[in-house]
Structure 1
Amino acid sequence: MSDLMFSNLLEDDQEEYGAVETMDPELYKATIGGDLLEFVREMERLANDRHPYYLPASCVQLGPQKNTILHLATSYGHHEIVKLVCKDLPHLLAEKDARGDTALHLAARAGDTNLILLLTDSDYAVLALLGATNEEDNTPLHEALIHRHENVARTLIDKNRNMNYSVNHEGKSLTYLAAEAGYVAIISLLMDNPVGNYALDGKHKIKSPVHAAILGRNIDVLKLFWRKDRSSFYKRCEKGGNPLHCAAYIGFTDGISFLLKKSYILAYLRDRQGLLPIHMAASQGHVDIIQLMVQDRPDSREQLTLQGQNILHIAAKSGKCRALERMLKMPELEKLINEKDADGNTPLHVATIYGHPKVVSSLTWDERVILQLENKDGLTALDIAEEQMKPYMASFQKRLTWMALRVVGAPKAPHSKSVTDVNLMLDEQPTTENYRDKVNVILLVATLVATVTFSAGFAMPGGYKNSDPNQGIANMLEKVKFQEFVICDSLAMYSSIAVAVTLLWAQLGDQKSMHVALKLALPLLGIALAMMSIAFMAGVYLVVSKLNWLAHFVLFMGSNFVIVLVLLFLPLCFLGSSNYHRFRFLSYCPFCLMLYALGSYAENEAAE
């Protein structure tokens, strides 16, 4: 087949299926290798021996990403090759790769000032390249600022200070990017020359450089903007927030102090959600910001959202436990503790509604919090928690929230419908199949415990005597730990058998009897598990008692495990309330352990 026929077939295939660009492999290697003599040789070879499907008519070699030899040389920082290509093939300066980048974009992104000077050596290059944008609408100057190359940015600005630049696809102008990076000198240069101007094409919403300075925590940049363009401090972000909202959200204390001093009115402007800056600080748990704002503008403590919620409501809603605990210690916020919002909800109600058990716990243990307060629906916090306790619907966070209220003896409303409704929900709403699933799981565990303890009863530690007159009697019968083993093993087996029998009866009854059986079976199962653990500890202690340190280690480890087991199992069996502080504290311990074990504390800490 002739070369012409092969070429025609190749063109037909490209038209039908499409094909990627390809560069001569030897030229590609020479370019990225950086050997100038080898590069020149390969260029001369291609010029003398052109293949129709290797070298297009334009004489521009393109790689798979539409990158030219100038792109490659720039990417690898080969200055001599870049200089030669710019001189002999200047039309490659304007070529763009698959992402729309020219070689100048790549040099700016890399932060190589020498490459910038080589690529912009001619007036043609300056005019053609400085304003060229890629797919993200970034010019080379944008790229230099985005990648924090201050010297490169200054070099590009100096090339043409009268040039106007557009914003990129994110709505970020050059001034915004410089403010984000904290380049005071660059910002001053941009604002004092036409280069800082940008075209308002209507495609993108322009982001405020003042917000960028706050996000970058650059107080010097803020001061510069205040001197040169005070009107920019009243521009809103896409969510309608002013710079003080932004500073409160990220916890920028120096920025808050500066803004309150220069323009306190910002503290009284709402965003699109109706939130004021102090509410934003409360939602993120920035207590230092709240203290600063309350000290500077004392009436800010009274500021409410459109729903009538104060800063304690906001912190409770967001689950900011540590922040709320610190706010409760602030004397100036004491009057807000039991304040109601538009729906009559106090911060305790709000924390209950949103299922934040640690926040609820912190509030309920504060003596100033009135647990009896009702909202407009006549519900106390406990009423709300019980309404959310529908089986198979409430999350475990909601169940822990209910526990937090129960352990401190939180009351129900005198005429609340939830007094009877909750019992109905707990007893009647679940389907028989749902109850049977629970029964089957507990029955399986009880059966396993009974099996294990039964086997252990005949595999006594230390074995049996083989000679008369005491044949078959346990060797360690007189030892206290052996007696402890036998008693605990027997209790574990009988308790587990009692659980199994109770649940077998439950299988034959209705939902009410199943519910009663479950309430009886859980404590019995807890006893069986605890006794089995103690029996195991006693048995192991017996067989290693000759090695004193190991025996004591077994006792220490086993005792601690039994305590943890009881604390973990207690909330599943019973979590009552009491007016006696000591009893409430005992109930509170397993509740806190459940929070730690199941990640509630960790979740709140991560959120803060």
Structure 2
Amino acid sequence: MSSAVEINIDVISIPRDHMENEMIDSQLHDCVKQDNPEALKRRVQQRSAEKLVTPCGNTLLHVAVSNGSDNITSYLVKEFPSLITMANSQKDTILHLAAREGKASRPIKCLAESNPSLMRKKNTKGNTPLHDAVIKGNKELAIFLVSKDPEVAYYNNKIGRSPLYLAVENDNKNGILDDLLYLGASIPITRVDGDALPKRKSPVHAAIEQRSIDLLEKIAKAKPELLCLTDEELGNSLHYASSICFLEGVRFLFKKFLDGAYETNSEGNYPIHVACKNESVDLVKEFLDIFPYPKEFLNKKGQNILHVAAENGQGNVVRYIVGNDQKNIVEPLLNEMDEDGNTPLHLAAQHGQSIAAFALVRDKRVENFIVNNENFTPYDVAKQQSKMAVDQYEKTDEMLAKEREQFDSKNSIPADEIQIEVNAEDVKDGKKNSTTEKATGSQGKDKAVDSKDYKLIDYYGTMTTLSILYFHARPKKSRYDERFTSTQGKPPRKQETRIRIQNLLVVAVLVAGVTFAGAIQMPQQKDKNNSTEFNSTALDSSTVPSLLDGYLCLDVWALNSSVVAAIILLWTHLNDVKFAPFAVRFSSLMVGGSIYMMCLSFFFAVTIALWGGSTYGLFDTILIVVGIVFFLSQTLLYILWILQPSVNQIIEGNLSHYVYYISFMFVYNWRCLTDSLRDLWTKPK
């Protein structure tokens, strides 16, 4: 193979649709496979050998290398040297095919030595031959390639993977990683072509992703400088280990790469900030043991670790930090403000993080009435966020899709310039007197979207957070105004009114049908009861007819109310649309009343069934008590229903805080109980 020719030209690919190529037939292919140069000479003429290709653009030399036909490979290289640098339709050179086919014969090695440029050529996937050798576990060729050109071990393909990265990702398949580490060159500092590894994923990131301490130790022993590499998105190795809660990896990197804890990522966060974005309290403990001065770590927004934990809703981390016994660690964090003037409680309220807000607001050291740069307290921020959540909840899917398109398009308006509709009564002390408010600063980032992606607001989390702050952090001077200020919204649109009419009409007809069926059964039931002897100890004989009469009266009342409501709703289709809102309001009261009477008549029927034919027992008592409780609840709800909308909304607004708060306390205590049981179960004995 001493006759191998060095070709110092770029790889030539063969676009078959632009060249008059000839297909390699089956006989010629068998000839190459049998490694018979004499038979090949008889079938191939010198003028056409370079134009013979397979459907995917492989030349005769590609086919020879793929089949390990060394004799034909030597012949073709000597007679047709231009074939050496030709690539197929996927831009694979002969070295790519040799790497994938596991071929590492002497002719292949001689070709690589004579044509070193082949070792750096990339195919359509961005893979060099060394990439393919590592992927396929071709150890012999991988060692040869990296020994001849060590720097290729750091080249990245199109998805940002270097051969070193792939060797780690493949869990050191065939021991290739060991050879790459010891034969590979030092990290290239700068390169004009931009192919080198720095600023991209490193093998250390791959080892961290697999949570392998063994691989980390191999890398640290052979190439400790790799621990210092930084990825543009993931940050350095400590950032990445913290982001996936790899506690053992963080401990290892503290010993080998402690300086990484003082570096920031693309978002301006230190590794300790990234740790606080996750729910691992043990990871935060590890950081605070090494760095007992967290107030010194501020990201580019001026936020400390408590800001980050509260913003990301890591309630357990917030509780741990707040409950830390060392005052010099906790107190400087509690009421610190970031560049937008937000405290950790502001951020918890802004992002609807109920558990974090609850942990903060219950701490007496936390000042609940600090105002941010927009002059909003945490409660004001939560209230504004709830308005936006309601507004987003009421939008149709088409409206949300349009908003999403605005933020996905390249020419969309930045998030901090979106006009957000806010009622004048909904902001602090009436200081905002316009119907729209331009969301800037912290308020422009908090809402239905962030600076990167369109996001839907967590409705339940936002409302729960507002309810928590309503009881624990509400300014006293605003309580009177909130309790007696009308919050009645705009009248419904025409389309919305039609939908309400249709829904009410369906309910009214259903109620009418049920009550009609109950009414026509009454004569038979009454004759049956008059001829039946009831237990005198359970029910007086004069009581049953009275209960049946009461049942009949309520049933007839419900039937007629629902029929009247149905007629009025049908009438709206024949009259002016201005009549529709009144019809909807009146019919809803009638339908609600008919449902209420139907439930009450059912209570009468149950009473007859229990007392009229059986002895008075424990099960009967339970049914009666449950019925009375639900009847009282229905009465209260119907009274609220018939009130004026403005009064009803005020009462509903105040009651909703109790509902959300009670539900939160149930979930919160349940989580605390399960966490305690889990810690008790996993605690080493």
Letter in 2 for 1:454: A
Cα distance in 2, alignment partners of residues 71 and 153 from structure 1: 21
Q: How many residues align?
A: 528
Q: Which residue of 1 aligns with 2:677?
A: none
Deviations 1:167-189 (A, max 9, x none): 23456544444345453964553
Deviations 1:242-262 (A, max 9, x none): 332222122221221122233
- Counterpart pick for 1:124 among 96, 108, 111: 111
**Residues 162, 373 of structure 1: CA spacing in aligned structure 2 closer, same or farther, 3 A cutoff?**
same
**Residues 270, 37 of structure 1: CA spacing in aligned structure 2 closer, same or farther, 3 A cutoff?**
closer
CA RMSD of aligned residues (A): 6.0
Letter in 2 for 1:277: P
TM-fit CA distance, 1:276: 1.2
Alignment pair present for 1:339 and 2:335:
yes
Deviations 1:478-506 (A, max 9, x none): 7999999979977876887899989x9xx
TM-fit CA distance, 1:43: 11
- Counterpart pick for 1:312 among 306, 309, 330: 306
User: Does the 8 A contact of 1:356 with 1:398 survive in 2?
Assistant: no
**Residues 401, 450 of structure 1: CA spacing in aligned structure 2 closer, same or farther, 3 A cutoff?**
same
Q: Which residue of 1 aligns with 2:509?
A: 451
Q: Which residue of 1 aligns with 2:124?
A: 135
**Residues 593, 18 of structure 1: CA spacing in aligned structure 2 closer, same or farther, 3 A cutoff?**
farther
User: Does the 8 A contact of 1:86 with 1:119 survive in 2?
Assistant: no
Q: Which residue of 2 aligns with 1:549?
A: none
Q: Which residue of 1 aligns with 2:349?
A: 352
Letter in 2 for 1:98: S
SS in 1 for 2:293: helix
Alignment pair present for 1:178 and 2:167:
yes
User: Does the 8 A contact of 2:53 with 2:60 survive in 1?
Assistant: yes
Cα distance in 1, alignment partners of residues 525 and 257 from structure 2: 98
TM-fit CA distance, 1:281: 1.3
User: Does the 8 A contact of 2:335 with 2:367 survive in 1?
Assistant: no
Q: Which residue of 2 aligns with 1:67?
A: 58
Cα distance in 1, alignment partners of residues 551 and 316 from structure 2: 46
Cα distance in 1, alignment partners of residues 482 and 314 from structure 2: 33
- Counterpart pick for 1:144 among 116, 133, 157: 133
**Residues 355, 24 of structure 1: CA spacing in aligned structure 2 closer, same or farther, 3 A cutoff?**
same
TM-fit CA distance, 1:97: 1.7
Q: Which residue of 2 aligns with 1:409?
A: 471
Give ranges in structure 2 of 5+ residues lacking alignment. Answer: 1-14, 394-455, 532-542, 610-622, 642-647, 669-685
**Residues 418, 62 of structure 1: CA spacing in aligned structure 2 closer, same or farther, 3 A cutoff?**
farther
Cα distance in 1, alignment partners of residues 664 and 588 from structure 2: 17
Q: Aligned residues: percent identity?
A: 24
- Counterpart pick for 1:86 among 69, 73, 76: 73
- Counterpart pick for 1:397 among 458, 469, 475: 458
**Residues 251, 416 of structure 1: CA spacing in aligned structure 2 closer, same or farther, 3 A cutoff?**
same
**Residues 417, 340 of structure 1: CA spacing in aligned structure 2 closer, same or farther, 3 A cutoff?**
farther
Deviations 1:213-263 (A, max 9, x none): 434434334334444554544444325933322221222212211222334
Q: Which residue of 1 aligns with 2:179?
A: 189
Structure 1, 278-287 or 124-133: larger mean CA deviation = 124-133
SS in 2 for 1:460: helix
- Counterpart pick for 1:57 among 39, 48, 53: 48
TM-fit CA distance, 1:268: 2.8
Cα distance in 1, alignment partners of residues 355 and 591 from structure 2: 29
How does the TM-score come out when normalised to structure 2? 0.58
Letter in 1 for 2:73: C
Cα distance in 2, alignment partners of residues 465 and 203 from structure 1: 93
**Residues 385, 529 of structure 1: CA spacing in aligned structure 2 closer, same or farther, 3 A cutoff?**
farther
Deviations 1:269-290 (A, max 9, x none): 3334331111011123343321
User: Does the 8 A contact of 1:453 with 1:490 survive in 2?
Assistant: no
Structure 1, 178-187 or 453-462: larger mean CA deviation = 178-187
Letter in 2 for 1:409: F
**Residues 396, 577 of structure 1: CA spacing in aligned structure 2 closer, same or farther, 3 A cutoff?**
same
Cα distance in 2, alignment partners of residues 48 and 485 from structure 1: 108
**Residues 497, 468 of structure 1: CA spacing in aligned structure 2 closer, same or farther, 3 A cutoff?**
closer
Cα distance in 1, alignment partners of residues 280 and 34 from structure 2: 63
SS in 2 for 1:117: coil
Cα distance in 2, alignment partners of residues 495 and 19 from structure 1: 86
User: Does the 8 A contact of 1:361 with 1:405 survive in 2?
Assistant: no
- Counterpart pick for 2:239 among 245, 248, 254: 245
User: Does the 8 A contact of 1:484 with 1:535 survive in 2?
Assistant: yes
**Residues 490, 204 of structure 1: CA spacing in aligned structure 2 closer, same or farther, 3 A cutoff?**
farther
Cα distance in 1, alignment partners of residues 550 and 70 from structure 2: 90
Letter in 1 for 2:462: T
Cα distance in 2, alignment partners of residues 349 and 279 from structure 1: 18
Cα distance in 2, alignment partners of residues 21 and 484 from structure 1: 98
**Residues 591, 230 of structure 1: CA spacing in aligned structure 2 closer, same or farther, 3 A cutoff?**
closer
**Residues 66, 161 of structure 1: CA spacing in aligned structure 2 closer, same or farther, 3 A cutoff?**
same
Cα distance in 2, alignment partners of residues 422 and 101 from structure 1: 76
Cα distance in 2, alignment partners of residues 350 and 40 from structure 1: 73
Q: Which residue of 1 aligns with 2:615?
A: none
User: Does the 8 A contact of 2:511 with 2:595 survive in 1?
Assistant: no
How does the TM-score come out when normalised to structure 1? 0.64
Cα distance in 2, alignment partners of residues 479 and 94 from structure 1: 105
Letter in 1 for 2:156: N
Q: Which residue of 2 aligns with 1:168?
A: 156
Cα distance in 2, alignment partners of residues 360 and 525 from structure 1: 41
TM-fit CA distance, 1:319: 3.5
TM-fit CA distance, 1:101: 1.3
Cα distance in 1, alignment partners of residues 195 and 527 from structure 2: 100
Letter in 2 for 1:133: K
TM-fit CA distance, 1:335: 3.6
Alignment pair present for 1:98 and 2:89:
yes
TM-fit CA distance, 1:353: 1.7
Cα distance in 1, alignment partners of residues 286 and 458 from structure 2: 33
- Counterpart pick for 1:271 among 265, 274, 277: 265
**Residues 356, 48 of structure 1: CA spacing in aligned structure 2 closer, same or farther, 3 A cutoff?**
same
Cα distance in 1, alignment partners of residues 296 and 42 from structure 2: 83
**Residues 96, 411 of structure 1: CA spacing in aligned structure 2 closer, same or farther, 3 A cutoff?**
same
Letter in 1 for 2:89: A
